[in-house]
Structure 1
Amino acid sequence: MTDEGSDDATADEATVLVVDDEEGLADLYAIWLRDRYSVETAYDGEAALDALDEDVDVVLLDRQMPGVSGDDVLETARERGLDCRVAMVTAVEPELDIVDLGFDDYLRKPVDRETLLETVDRLLRRSTYDDAVQEYFAAARKHALLAESNDLNVTDTEEFDELEARLAELRDRLDDVVGGLDDEDYEVLFRQFSAEDGDDE
């Protein structure tokens, strides 16, 4: 693990852990991020597990790594009860197995600097929201990924139906908490609601 944070990092800076077995790519992500955040890098799953603690705010996590996979790292982080936001950054096309993964966002490589920065900013904002809002955004992201899948049979599965039911349940719980969202996330939430309403017509 390598600490990429600057010497003058303040105590209130967010910490981002970049995990990728392609060392050059992990280092590039760190360069993009380190002017804004305190950044650590891990080049395999075991190093990521060693680095994961309560100080990590956001994890950018590759899925396909030798030994301990990104999915394993994510599962362990959730088992430890760590309250960090996790974005999978991977070349792996999303399939039905993502329904049970506890990530907050999913980026498909290649990823540019602007997208990476926007993702970290967005996840840090969401970390301040009510748990139901966080879960809704994560479920909505999974729903969107699967709906866009090249496998047309995905949306005809029991898992997809259960995900849609969970989204509807979460939506019913959000009436009391949407007032705390910032404008960008409120717009995302509103668009999602509008899309669902359109599907129901």
Structure 2
Amino acid sequence: MIDTSEKTVLIVDDEEMVAESYELYLQDDYETIVELSGGAALMELDQREVDLVLVDRRMPGMSGDVVIDHIDQWEMDFQVIMVTAVDPDIDIIDMPCDGYLTKPVSEDELLDAVNRAFQIDYYEDLIAEYNQLSEKYEVLTSQFSSRKLANKDRFADLEARMEEMETEIAETAEGFSDSKLSDAFRRLH
């Protein structure tokens, strides 16, 4: 399952008290970094790897919109959640963010969003690994008879790992608190 102790969350909000409250909500489960401006956040991202960014949309200087555009252009591979007092509009469809929370955000809402984002990452990693194993399985079964493969320990290990992964994928999909999301993942695999 997901090891949250090694995950780093960058919190970007120009309101120091808000940023610190998010840090308090998350610090028991995650390593946290707080930046109070978009520019400082981008400098932090240039120097350090993070696993998720929580970013306010409306900040003086560099807005959260600009921050997430840079993250998208730099092709950084982590989840981004917009946490903002700006009511969502149709423009969020084109935003390169993975979640959108409207302030005020409770501790439970924030933790749920962050945990869900990491669960989605974990699910995507499982699917990618399973796909790699499946491709190898297909190549081997198309090249060799099942009788010849039956005598190969490494092939048996491959089949066993694929079965383990199928179970883990199903359990992960079932574990999503959002039933629509869980149903979608179940249909995908």
1:26 is matched with 19
Aligned mates of 1:27, 1:189 — CA distance in 2 = 30
1:64 is matched with 58
2:144 is matched with none
**Superposed counterparts of 1:58-137, under 5 Å:** 58-130=52-124
2:180 is matched with 188
**SS of the residue 1:94 aligns to:** coil
* Residue 88 (structure 1) shift: 0.5
* 2:174 partner letter: D
2:4–2:29 contact (8 Å) kept in structure 1: no
Note if 1:51 corresponds to 2:44.
yes
**SS of the residue 2:41 aligns to:** helix
Aligned mates of 1:190, 1:49 — CA distance in 2 = 33
* Number of residue pairs aligned between Structure 1 and Structure 2: 139
Note if 1:13 corresponds to 2:6.
yes
**SS of the residue 1:128 aligns to:** helix
1:144 is matched with none
Residues 21, 58 of structure 1: alpha-carbon distance in 2 compared, 3 angstrom cutoff? same
Larger Rg: 1 or 2?
Answer: 2
1:129–1:180 contact (8 Å) kept in structure 2: no
* 1:52 partner letter: L
Percentage of pairs with the same residue: 42
2:38–2:59 contact (8 Å) kept in structure 1: yes
* Residue 15 (structure 1) shift: 0.1
Give the number of the structure whose residues are more often helix, by fraction: 2
Aligned mates of 1:190, 1:55 — CA distance in 2 = 29
Aligned mates of 1:42, 1:190 — CA distance in 2 = 33
Q: Deviations over 1:101-148 (max 9, x none)?
A: 0111110000011111111111011112339x9xxxxxxxxxxxxxxx
Aligned mates of 1:188, 1:64 — CA distance in 2 = 30
